[in-house]
Amino acid sequence: MAWYSSNRRSELPPNWAIIRQRVIRRDRGLCQGVLSEGALCGHPGTEVDHIRPGSDHSMGNLQLLCTWCHKRKTQAESRAGRADKPMPKTHIPRDQREAPPSPW
């Protein structure tokens, strides 16, 4: 996650470092990401991730992911979030646009 452009760090609880270490220990330092074939990734984990977005910092909502799995999950959540938003008013489908004025 790009912390320099995010406010997520300010939303973490004061004891985040302790919670983070508990998640790392619980997951034995291994990525809990599930690969397409259903197996766990198992690479060394570096990112403590919220399974469900939001401010639920309980152990049941946290998992350890490697950088690759975390990036993949974040991108999927971002795409899903954008899909829920309506198209900006500046985008008008080509077949619905007014014809430009004739230059002649």
Our CA angle for 24, 40, 2, nearest 5°, is 55
Q: Which of 3, 1, 13 is nearest to 58 (CA)?
A: 13
The band of 6, judged by pLDDT with boundaries at 50, 70 and 90, is low
What ranges do the domains of the chain cover? 9-79
pLDDT tens track for 7-29:
677 789 999 999 999 999 999 99
For the full predicted model, state whether its pTM sits above 0.85. Answer: no
Q: Is 19 exposed, middle or buried (0-12, 13-18, 19+ CB in 10 A)?
A: middle
**Could you count the other beta carbons within 10 Å of the beta carbon of residue 24?**
16
Q: What gap in Å lies between CA 20 and CA 18, rounded to an integer?
A: 5
